A and B are shown apart, each in its own frame.
Chain A
Amino acid sequence: MIRLAYITISVVLFLLPCTVASAVERFPPPDFESGYVQPTPTTPGPRQTVYEYIDTIVLFVALTISSYLVLRTRKRWAIFVMMIFSLIYFGFWRKGCVCPIGAIQNVTLSFFDPGYAVPITITLFFLLPLIFTLFFARSFCAAVCPLGAIQDLVLLRPISLPQWLESGLRLFAYVYLAAAVLFAATGSAFIICRYDPFVSFFRLNGSLNILILGACFLFISMFIGRPYCRFICPYGVILRQLSRISKWKVAITPDDCIKCRLCEDSCPFGAIKIPTEDWPAHDYNKSKRRLVFLIILLPILVLSFGWIGSILQPVTSRVHATVRLADRIYLEETGQAEGTTDASDAFRATGKDIKVLYAEALAIQARFGLGGWLAGGFIGLVIALKLIGPSLRRHRSDYEADRAGCLACGRCFEYCPKEHSKRKQAKETMSESR
């Protein structure tokens, strides 16, 4: 009997136009006679903005302390303690989101999507480390970034990589930056956040793939110092360039370098530059010819990679949900694909015109075409400059920290005998004055 009633009701209801949409009032709300009062659902608010401002202040203070420790105090243990604090606060407490690395995408999106405005706090998270780097080198990487901290913490036995491999692997970071900006500007995805390998650790939760990726990174970090920072981090790419022109720089020795070579192997990140030898004459001429050739090659590389970027448009644009949907609908309409997906069902339920969808998808693809030119051109430029790099030689007489690559971790300070004598001297003056 009950089943019969159920089936009857079902049949009747199926005849009604069933859209999954809004309140359709198939059953009128009752008029209660027993004095029943409808409950009101609770709507707990989001995390208050004041906490975001506190985070920003903590970031500012952390950057200040880190810069002071790297440039003035020059003690590895102090930098290490600061690093642990940042790992706990920005990583495990704040859950790592939104971090300055990911903020690249928010800032980019706000320039291209008038409907999206980046919150002031995220703007500050993006800008503060950059501004600090302009003055105090990469103190952000040293002891503020939780992603750097978690890798630095597990570094056991660093092996040094040859220069060509280091430089080649770093190309990935530039490609990643170009892709992140492209996908953020077109409103497709925030890939830096999607493939952040460490955020799952900070949240103590995450999808299996990302957890495996994170575990791999941590395993590699035991032997190759900070692989994410050096080869992947798109924010690091920007920091590198700004660090080159910073007002103060990280110095291995507090005094004049005596070329004792003690610090030579101290850097796990391959960021110590050794003094240059004199350039042999025949090599010099060969280099000059190569330089001219590479400079001619530069525009060719820029254009060809730009072209590659633009013809990859059918692939890259599929990251955008609208393009994927239009593709699917097209395949279904032309009978090339059987069945429907959740997305195509949802689209059809809206009753939107398919032509409008196609037009939208084409417009997005056109943007990807232009974006591909720019992103590809950028990658081509980076490759060209990387090739030109070795042909330019600057005279260097001391052991120096590479301005771009130095992560300001402070490991090399202890290796310098001058540092020790200076500390001893400082101690003596202290005890004398007592």
Chain B
Amino acid sequence: MSKHSEQTPGRRQILIAALRYGALGLLGATGGAAVFARKKNNTQNTVWQIDPEICIACGNCATYCVLEESAVKCMHAYAVCGYCRICFGFFGPEPADINEGAENQLCPTGAIKRSFVEDPYYEYTIDESLCMGCGKCVKGCSTFGNGALYLQVRHDRCLNCNECSIAAACPSGAFKRVPADKPYLLKRVDHV
């Protein structure tokens, strides 16, 4: 570069400066448009969640999560539960006996605890540290029972990846972005 061009900017420099501030304006407009769209649609930050109405409990949640132990776990809607003695989410098909023996259980990790409440009702609770989100119990309960067991993304574990790998593998399209301040799609009873 000669001294001359540093003192009086040449045509090239002026053009580059114009392009630069043009690009800056364009970036500003992009940011402005993004913020404006948020304000207009009143949209919020989002997180991933499973719509239990659509979920078919296919089992992909257990294997497709980027975490070694999936962020998806089973949740129990107690208000929906029938507290059955023979729970189809707890017992495997054709159980040898109706008790808590491991050979009778459907859950591969034994994450469901069964405890007696009062005759003839039994309470079922999920041990989240054991649950791997395979959804076997969900399928059992929703096919034969009340559908009190359902899968949800647990947000203490979820990394909220930009593209959720489970969502990409979900066959029913049950994974959706939900507002971050209402991060769960809980099952409720209609008649209450």
Contact = CB atoms under 8 A, between A and B. Distances in A.
Interface residues of B, number: 81
B155 A45 contact: yes
Contacts of B43: 115-117
A22 B84 contact: no
Contact of B159 (A22, A114, A203): A203
Contacts of B44: 117
A46 B147 contact: no
Interface string B155-168: 11011111101001
Contacts, number: 205
Interface residues of A, number: 79
Contact of A194 (B75, B147, B163, B188): B163
Interface stretch (A95-103, A159-167, A274-282, A381-389): A95-103
Interface string B164-178: 010010011100010
B96 to A, nearest CB: 9
A134 interface: yes
Given A22-B187, A205-B66, A342 B118 contact: no
A65 to B, nearest CB: 21
A335 interface: no
A105 B37 contact: no
Interface residues of B, dominant DSSP: loop
A111 B38 CA distance: 11
A346 B187 contact: no
B24 A45 contact: no
A246 B20 CA distance: 7
A247 interface: yes
By CB atoms of chain A within 10 A, which of B23, B41, B84, B94 has the most? Answer: B23
A29 B177 contact: no
Nearest to A400: B1
Contacts of B143: 13, 18, 20
Contacts of B131: none
Interface stretch (A84-92, A118-126, A413-421, A424-432): A118-126
A128 to B, nearest CB: 10
Nearest to B128: A42
Nearest to A346: B172
Nearest to A48: B180
Interface in A203-253: 203, 205-207, 242, 245-247
Contacts of B142: 20-21, 24
A23 B163 contact: no
A134 to B, nearest CB: 6
Given A30-B82, A44-B156, 9 more contacts: A9-B144, A25-B80, A25-B189, A114-B37, A193-B161, A321-B173, A342-B171, A346-B172, A347-B172
19 contacts: A13-B144, A20-B57, A21-B142, A22-B53, A26-B146, A30-B83, A39-B78, A44-B155, A45-B156, A117-B38, A120-B35, A131-B24, A131-B27, A189-B168, A193-B162, A205-B67, A342-B58, A342-B172, A346-B173
Closest 6 pairs between A and B when the two form their complex, measured CB to CB: A27-B82, A346-B172, A117-B43, A190-B163, A44-B156, A343-B171
